[in-house]
C-alpha cells in the first residue's frame, strides 16, 4: 500500500532500523534458529515455500528477505529473480542463506539479485550485523526516494509518485479483483486568484488546500498527490464509488472551511471541483481509463457550476 503524506527529514532520520523481515525456508529447524536470533530486534514473518514467499511479498512487501537457496519446487534463486521483475518488490534486499560453499552458487546468488549471503550453519553475530546493515541501507534508500517523490511546495506526493502508485494499485486490483477509486480535484478559478492576490498568496493557498484535503484522506494506504498546478489527485485502494464520493465531499467541505477569501470567484472564497471514478472491470482496461473517467467527471463538475462533486 501506498501513503498519502511524507514525514519531514528529521522524522525519517530518527527511524530505527527495526524491520519487517521475511524468513523463507522449508526446514523448521532453520526457521527456529533465525527466529531466536532476530525476534527481539525485528518483526519476523515466515514462508516455507517459494510460492508462498512470492504471494506474501506481493500482498505485503517486507523490508528485507532471508531466503534459502535450496527448496523443493521453486528454489530461492527463482524467487529472487521473480521479485526483481516486479516493481513493487524489486527494491526489497534479499540475503541468501546457503548451505553450500560453492563459487558457482555464490555467483548465481549475485546474478539473481541478492545483496548478500550468509552460510549455514548461521553465525548469530554475522546474521544480525548483515540484517542490520542492509536494513539501514534500505532506510537510507527509502528516504532519498521519498524526498524525490515529494512535491516541494505542498509536502504531498508529486506527479511521479502518483503515476507509480496508480499503476501499482491498478495491478494489485487486477490480481485481487478488489476495489479501486480515484478522485481528481481542481481549485476553482485559481488563475484569477493568482492575478488578484499574487503568486505568494497562491502558494500559501495551495499549501492550505493540500493540508485540508489530507484531513479527509484518513487511511494510511490512501495517497494524495499534487497532479500539476492547482490540480490534485487521490488514489483510494479498496474503496468503492460511495466511499470515494464521501471522501471527496469531506475534502470539499474541508476546503470551504478554510474560508480563504477569493473575490473573483462566484463564491467569494476558495473552493474546488471534484471528479470521482471507481474501477469497473467491464469498462476499464487500464489505469489510464480510470484516470480519464475521473478527469471527465471533474470537467462535468466544473462545467455545471464548480464547487461540487461529480461521479463518473
- 3-state SS, the chain, equals CCCCECCCHHHHHCCCCCCEEEEECCCHHHHHHHHHHHCCCCEEEEECCHHHHHHHHHHCCCCEEEEECCCCCCCHHHHHHHHHHCCCCCCCCEEEEECCCCHHHHHHHHHHCCCEEEECCCCHHHHHHHHHHHHHHHHHHHHHHHHHCECCCCCEECHHHHHHHHHHHHHHHHHHCCCEEEEEEEECCHHHHHHHHCHHHHHHHHHHHHHHHHCCCCCCCCEEEEEECCEEEEEEECCCHHHHHHHHHHHHHHHHHHCCECCCCCCCECCEEEEEEECCCCCCCCHHHHHHHHHHHHHHHHHCCCCCEEEC
Q: Is 147 left (phi over 0), alpha (psi -120 to 50) or beta?
A: alpha
Cell digits for 262? 477569493
Which has the closest alpha carbon to 127: 60, 220, 243, 33?
Answer: 33
Which cell numbers hold the place of 230? 492547482
CB 182 within 8 A of CB 291: yes
Q: What is the pLDDT of residue 11?
A: 47
230 included as an active-site residue: yes
In this prediction the pTM is 0.66
CA nearest neighbour of 18 among 103, 99, 139, 197: 139
Q: What is the pLDDT of residues 177-231, one digit of tens each?
A: 889 999 999 999 999 999 999 999 999 999 999 999 999 998 888 999 999 999 9
Q: What would the grid cell of residue 175 be? A: 490480481
Q: What is the pLDDT of residue 13?
A: 43
Report pLDDT for 220: 84
Do residues 227 and 187 touch, judged by C-beta distance below 8 A? no
pLDDT at 16: 54
Pick the catalytic residue: 106, 230, 257, 292? 230
The ranges of the chain with pLDDT < 70 are 1-17, 282
Chain centroid to Cα 32, Å, comes to 32
Q: Which pairs with CB-CB distance under 8 Å and at least 24 residues apart come from 73-81? A: 73/49, 74/49, 74/50, 75/50, 76/24, 76/50, 76/112, 77/108, 77/109, 77/112, 78/50, 78/112, 79/24, 79/50, 79/53, 79/54, 80/109, 80/112, 80/113, 80/114, 81/112, 81/113
Q: What is the pLDDT of residue 8?
A: 47
pLDDT at 285: 83
Amino acid at each position: 500500500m501506498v501513503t498519502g503524506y511524507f514525514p519531514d527529514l528529521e522524522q525519517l532520520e530518527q527511524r530505527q532500523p527495526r524491520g519487517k523481515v521475511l524468513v523463507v525456508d522449508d526446514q523448521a529447524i532453520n526457521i527456529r534458529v533465525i527466529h531466536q536470533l532476530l525476534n527481539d530486534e525485528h518483526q519476523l514473518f515466515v514462508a516455507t515455500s517459494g510460492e508462498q514467499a512470492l504471494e506474501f511479498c506481493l500482498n505485503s512487501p517486507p523490508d528485507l528477505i532471508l531466503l534459502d537457496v535450496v527448496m523443493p519446487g521453486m528454489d530461492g534463486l527463482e524467487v529472487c529473480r521473480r521479485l526483481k521483475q516486479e516493481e513493487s518488490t524489486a527494491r526489497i534486499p534479499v540475503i541468501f542463506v546457503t548451505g553450500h560453499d560453492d563459487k558457482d552458487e555464490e555467483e548465481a546468488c549475485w546474478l539473481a539479485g541478492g545483496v548478500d549471503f550468509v552460510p549455514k550453519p548461521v553465525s548469530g553475530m554475522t546474521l544480525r550485523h548483515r540484517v542490520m546493515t542492509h536494513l539501514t541501507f534500505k532506510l537510507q534508500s527509502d528516504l532519498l526516494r521519498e524526498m524525490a517523490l515529494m512535491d516541494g511546495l505542498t509536502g504531498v506526493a508529486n506527479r511521479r509518485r502518483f503515476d507509480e502508485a496508480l499503476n501499482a494499485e491498478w495491478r494489485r486490483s487486477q490480481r485481487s479483483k478488489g476495489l479501486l477509486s480515484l478522485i481528481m480535484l481542481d481549485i476553482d478559478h485559481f488563475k484569477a486568484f493568482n492575478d488578484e492576490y499574487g503568486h505568494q498568496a497562491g502558494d500559501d493557498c495551495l499549501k492550505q488546500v493540500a493540508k485540508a484535503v489530507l484531513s479527509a484522506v484518513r487511511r494510511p494506504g490512501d495517497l494524495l498527490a499534487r497532479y500539476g498546478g492547482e490540480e490534485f489527485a487521490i488514489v483510494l485502494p479498496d474503496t468503492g464509488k460511495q466511499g470515494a464520493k464521501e471522501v471527496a465531499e469531506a475534502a470539499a467541505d474541508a476546503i470551504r472551511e478554510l474560508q480563504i477569501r477569493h473575490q473573483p470567484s462566484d463564491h467569494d472564497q476558495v473552493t474546488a471541483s471534484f471528479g470521482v471514478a471507481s474501477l469497473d472491470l467491464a469498462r476499464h482496461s487500464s489505469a489510464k481509463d480510470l484516470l480519464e473517467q475521473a478527469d471527465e467527471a471533474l470537467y462535468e463538475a466544473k462545467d455545471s457550476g464548480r464547487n461540487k462533486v461529480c461521479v463518473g
